[in-house]
Amino acid sequence: MINRILLILTLLGGSFCSPLYASYDLGNPNRPLASNEYAVIIEGFDWGPAVNKVILPVDESVTSPNHHDYEVSVERKTECTDLPAEQALGKRRVVYAYASDEEGNVTAGENHVTLVLEVAPNLPLSSPIQYTQNEKCRGNNWVNYSLTITNTVTNQSWDQEANRIMPLIDRFDLSGKFSYQGMPTMSYASYAPETTNKKLPLLIWLHGGGEGGTDPSIPLIANRAANYASDEIQSLLGGAYVLVPQAPTYWMDNGEGGLTTGDKNDIYNEALMALIQEYMDANPNIDQDRIYVGGCSNGGYMTLKLLLLHPEYFAAAFPSALAYSSEYITDEQLASIKNIPMWFVHAKDDNVTVANQTVIPVYKRLKAAGAENVYLSLYDHVVDITGFFGGKDFHYPGHWSWIYCHANECRRDADGSLVKLNVRPTTIIEWLAAQSR
């Protein structure tokens, strides 16, 4: 059985407090910045979000600003916990500066400068969110993130945030709410492609345990799930709707103050399925034969649960860090889903959802039952796929196998062979796009 202590610490990460910026409102983002105001750009990285750029209004137009002229100080505060000093106050390193417009786009002759700030997995001062586990908050929540920027040559300073730009999250509608039979209201984020007269697939992403709550921006940014609305992924899918529901607590909530790994029923699967159907009904351009569902950890559990309950509904599934215990799945249940295309993603050193208790036996049992279009990308470790922080020698926690999925880096089956689509090697998203019910 999965180690219960590790599961409770990692999977019961649903946010039980109201996120500090659940309704982050900085007024009109289109108005010009005042002389002491700045805007930040927040982007998602493999390890999570970071404030990686800051946009400054300047008195005169510039063409080649010098990044050495700027000092950036940061203060991080949260009501969820007392942060260690090194995570609460410090300096941000400026690595580059360029002339820009008010949205951070490179231009010439504009009255704005954009500073590019250093980001890395081991730089908590760059993160606008914080993961906590205590009586106040559980999971990831936005922090109060304040910068003070000074031009050491002109002595001009900026200390009031007036706008924040989140390039991929800003593509999503974050206003979704769904109520079902007295259950807590479920928030959700959604992305709709440009209006089209052809049917398009729906990709559903189910977050991990640290992203529950009432702010659907958290499931998008905490582990880079917003990337499913990126130009690259959308191009591979041929355009796709994206639906990201958010559990008020966590998908594996058994309703008794604990979690289930398949031994008991969870409390959300019925409401979640009703939400999916309502979203389908509201968007008639969705191709009902191309509904794809995936998720990580808690969401990996729920992905498999939905397949077991509704084996005829989904065209394909892509769970990562599967948290469903194989011992609680009967042979009859597995036989009912063996013809659903599935691509599992996991790491051998995942000590939270242990592969030998979850994904490996599930995969082997599916193959033994005759499943043909089922794959498992099983990594030794979750490494730095960018190469900036050590490459294969830099190891993230083994539980974070969803990094490969979000980045469309999965290419191999469990035996190391390349997965092929029409005799050509493929990636997980290209494969997904080719599946139809």
CA pair distance 351, 202, nearest whole angstrom: 32
CA pair distance 336, 261, nearest whole angstrom: 19
CA pair distance 140, 366, nearest whole angstrom: 34
Question: Beta strands 157-158 and 144-151: pairing type?
Answer: antiparallel
pLDDT the model gives residue 8: 39
One-letter amino acid for residue 106 of the chain: V
Strand order in the sheet with 144-151: 89-92, 70-77, 144-151, 157-158
Cα 194 to Cα 119, 175, 190, 240, distances in angstroms? 32, 19, 13, 10
pLDDT the model gives residue 294: 98
CA pair distance 120, 147, nearest whole angstrom: 18
| pLDDT tens profile 263-283 | 999 999 999 999 999 999 999
Mind spelling out the 3-state secondary structure of 261-321? Answer: CCCCCCCCHHHHHHHHHHHHHHCCCEEEEEEEEEEECHHHHHHHHHHHHCCCCCCEEEEEC
Spans in the chain with pLDDT lower than 70: 1-30
What residues pair up with 50 in beta bridges, in sequence order? 43
Q: Which helix (H) or strand (E) holds 90?
A: strand 89-92
Cβ-count burial 114-130 (b if 16+ within 10 Å, e if not): bbbbebebebbbbbbbb
Mind spelling out the 3-state secondary structure of 336-370? Answer: HHCCCCEEEEEECCCCCCCHHHCHHHHHHHHHHCC
pLDDT the model gives residue 194: 87
What residues pair up with 204 in beta bridges, in sequence order? 243, 293
pTM of the predicted protein model: 0.93
CA pair distance 324, 346, nearest whole angstrom: 13
Q: Which helix (H) or strand (E) holds 433?
A: helix 428-433
pLDDT the model gives residue 28: 55
Domains of the chain (ranges; CATH) run 37-165 (2.60.40.2180), 168-433 (3.40.50.1820)
CA pair distance 46, 122, nearest whole angstrom: 12
Measured in residues, the chain has a length of 437
Dihedral (CA of 276, 281, 286, 288) sign: positive
Dihedral (CA of 334, 336, 339, 342) sign: negative
